[in-house]
């Protein structure tokens, strides 16, 4: 018999370090039990054990440099199958009903963009039935989906279990989505490189979206998009806390919920950038279009763009950045169009990093970025390119100065912990 009043639903997600071995998985089971005892129906989304997905990716690349993306997904999705089964067993061991669900069983229906598929819809009827009939904890494989028309397994892109969790929380109408990781919340910057970083109690969706897209890998960008669109109450918290005394972590929420808004909320960095400069391009209308249209057609996202007068005073130099993973393709596209573009020299650099400052408070303050340019110059850090938008600005610098630049901006905007 199903119970009369439906219980509130909670989605809990545990990342790679949180399920790194059986002992850690037993610890996860204790966190889950706490929430079941508190009266929730729980769906737990798990990642593969830490390092596992990297190993699987390396095997695929070793097997063939130009591999079949569908088989890549078949291989890399396997890490999550292991941890779902192990967690279900550990939950059963402490007296809970539990079963594993692979992506195709839930199902997570996605498009066929193998390696970075997007979720189109989520089933979840079986999970709800398990809640109602058996109070059964659902242990769901993160990262995995299925493209139903072809029946093939897909994966959601690296870090995709965050997205699996938030999407499930939206689909099951969960009260909350708790993302457990190896830090106790979202920090003002990556605590691994700035020990003075401090934890934020709340971060606005827009800020988290920028931080994630600009390099803060604590949440996958798409998970933040989904949380924002579906208004999912999402917390980032630590699985290393004592399961009996959990800490609240960081709430990702609407801007209105945050009382005190500093000008800069956080600093992010990304080393996954490459810079390309085309020297002495003819300075005439349409030239930028002829450079960037073929890149767009090749699905290459161009980020920072700088155009300035060449040394000869007659032509123009165009500098832009692309993701490192697209660097070789971008160069090939440009070289293919060399005759039309008419540049004299293509220069490139891969040893660059993008440092960004993010904050909703920037909307109402002038001169925020100017302050940073001066502070970086005072430390002898050369800026290669700049972009700004309403709530962030980014500078491109030599990769060797990444940590110094992040620390400099972190102090400059008063973010260092006392």
Q: Give contact residues for ligand ASP (rule: CB under 6 A).
A: 15-16, 47-48, 53, 79, 142-143, 158-162
Q: What is the DSSP string of 313-356?
A: SSSEEEEEEEEGGGHHHHHHHHHHTHHHH--SEEEEEEEEEEEE
Q: Which stretch binds ligand ADP (CB under 6 A): 11-19, 128-136, 283-291, 371-379?
A: 11-19
Q: Cα(407)–Cα(195) distance, rounded to whole angstroms?
A: 9
Min dist. Cβ of residue 115 to ligand ADP (A): 17
CA atoms within 13 A on the CB side of 405: 29
Q: What is the 3-state secondary structure (H, E, C) of the chain?
A: CCCCCCCCEEEEEECHHHHCCHHHHHHHHHHHHHHHHCCCEEEEEECCCCCHHHHHHHHHHHHCCCCCHHHHHHHHCHHHHHHHHHHHHHHHHCCCCEEEECCCCCCEEECCCCCCCCEEEECCHHHHHHHHHHCCEEEEECCEEEECCCCEEEECCCCCHHHHHHHHHHHCCCCEEEEEECCCCCECCCCCCCCCCCECCEEEHHHHHHHHHCCCCCCCHHHHHHHHHHCCCEEEEECCCCCCCCCCCEEEECHHHCCCCCCCCEEEEEEEEEEEEEEEECCCCCHHHHHHHHHHHCCCCCCCEEEEECCCCCCEEEEEEEEHHHHHHHHHHHHHCHHHHCCCEEEEEEEEEEEEEECHHHHHCCCHHHHHHHHHHHCCCCCCEEEEECCEEEEEEEHHHHHHHHHHHHHHCCCCCC
Min dist. Cβ of residue 191 to ligand ADP (A): 6
Q: Give the one entry of Mg ion, ligand ASP, ligand ADP, none that residue 53 binds, where binding means its C-beta sits below a cut-off of 5 to 8 angstroms depending on kind.
A: ligand ASP
Q: Per-residue string for binding with Mg ion, 154-193, x by CB under 5 A?
A: -----x----------------------------------
Could you say whether residue 47 binds ligand ADP (CB under 6 A)?
yes
Min dist. Cβ of residue 167 to ligand ASP (A): 13
Could you say whether residue 216 binds ligand ADP (CB under 6 A)?
yes
Min dist. Cβ of residue 342 to ligand ADP (A): 42
Q: Which stretch binds ligand ADP (CB under 6 A): 184-192, 252-260, 280-288, 341-349?
A: 184-192
Min dist. Cβ of residue 181 to ligand ADP (A): 3
CA distances from 351 to 156, 211, 400 (A): 28, 21, 8
Min dist. Cβ of residue 71 to ligand ADP (A): 25
Q: Give the one entry of ligand ADP, Mg ion, ligand ASP, none that residue 189 binds, where binding means its C-beta sits below a cut-off of 5 to 8 angstroms depending on kind.
A: ligand ADP
- Binding ligand ADP (rule: CB under 6 A), the pick from 110, 163, 164, 181 is 181
Which of the residues 310 through 349 are near ligand ADP (CB under 6 A)?
none
Bridge partners (DSSP) of residue 250 are: 236
- Binding ligand ADP (rule: CB under 6 A), the pick from 182, 272, 280, 398 is 182
Could you say whether residue 35 binds ligand ADP (CB under 6 A)?
no
Q: Are 305 and 346 in contact (CB under 8 A)?
A: no
- Residues that bind Mg ion (rule: CB under 5 A) add up to a total of 2
Min dist. Cβ of residue 221 to ligand ADP (A): 12
Could you say whether residue 159 binds ligand ADP (CB under 6 A)?
yes
Could you say whether residue 402 binds ligand ADP (CB under 6 A)?
no
Could you say whether residue 234 binds ligand ADP (CB under 6 A)?
no
Q: Per-residue string for binding with ligand ADP, 243-282, x by CB under 6 A?
A: -----------------------x----------------
**Smaller CB separation from Mg ion, 108 or 143:** 143
Q: Give the one entry of Mg ion, ligand ADP, ligand ASP, none that residue 79 binds, where binding means its C-beta sits below a cut-off of 5 to 8 angstroms depending on kind.
A: ligand ASP
Q: Per-residue string for binding with Mg ion, 140-159, x by CB under 5 A?
A: -------------------x
Min dist. Cβ of residue 108 to ligand ASP (A): 13
Min dist. Cβ of residue 375 to ligand ASP (A): 35
Residues that bind Mg ion (CB under 5 A): 15, 159
């Amino acid at each position: 018999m199903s119970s009369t009043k439906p219980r509130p639903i909670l989605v809990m997600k545990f990342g790679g370090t949180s399920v790194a071995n059986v002992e850690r998985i037993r610890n996860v089971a204790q966190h889950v039990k706490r929430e079941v005892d508190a009266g929730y129906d729980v769906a737990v989304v798990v990642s593969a054990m830490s390092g596992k997905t990297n190993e699987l990716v390396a095997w695929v690349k070793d097997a063939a440099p130009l591999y079949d993306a569908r088989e890549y997904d078949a291989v890399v999705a396997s890490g999550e199958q292991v941890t779902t089964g192990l967690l279900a067993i550990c939950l059963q061991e402490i007296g809970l009903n539990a079963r594993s669900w692979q992506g195709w069983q839930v199902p997570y229906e996605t498009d066929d963009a193998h390696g970075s598929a997007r979720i189109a819809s989520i089933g979840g009827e079986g999970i709800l039935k398990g809640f109602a009939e058996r109070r059964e904890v659902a242990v769901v494989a993160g990262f995995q989906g299925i493209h139903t028309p072809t029946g093939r397994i897909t994966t959601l892109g690296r870090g995709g279990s965050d997205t699996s969790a938030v999407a499930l929380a939206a689909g099951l109408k969960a009260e909350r989505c708790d993302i457990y990781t190896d830090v106790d919340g979202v920090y003002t910057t990556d605590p691994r490189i700035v020990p003075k970083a401090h934890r934020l109690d709340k971060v606005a969706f827009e800020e988290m979206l920028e931080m994630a897209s600009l390099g803060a890998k604590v949440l996958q960008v798409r998970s933040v998009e989904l949380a924002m669109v579906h208004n999912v109450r999402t917390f980032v918290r630590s699985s290393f806390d004592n399961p009996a005394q959990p800490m609240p972590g960081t709430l990702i929420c609407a801007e209105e919920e945050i009382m005190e808004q500093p000008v800069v909320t956080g600093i992010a960095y990304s080393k996954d950038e490459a810079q390309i400069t085309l020297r002495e391009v003819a300075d005439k209308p349409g030239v930028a279009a002829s450079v960037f249209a073929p890149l767009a057609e090749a699905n290459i996202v161009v980020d920072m763009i700088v155009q300035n007068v060449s040394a000869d005073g007659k032509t123009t130099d165009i500098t832009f950045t692309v993701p490192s993973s697209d660097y070789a393709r971008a160069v090939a596209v440009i070289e293919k169009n060399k005759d039309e573009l008419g540049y004299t020299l293509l220069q490139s650099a891969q040893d660059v990093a993008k440092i960004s400052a993010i904050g909703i408070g920037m909307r109402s303050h002038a001169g925020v970025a100017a302050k940073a340019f001066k502070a970086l110059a005072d430390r002898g850090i050369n800026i290669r390119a700049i972009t700004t938008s309403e709530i962030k600005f980014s500078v491109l610098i030599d990769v060797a100065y990444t940590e110094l630049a992040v620390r400099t901006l972190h102090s400059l905007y008063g973010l260092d912990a006392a």
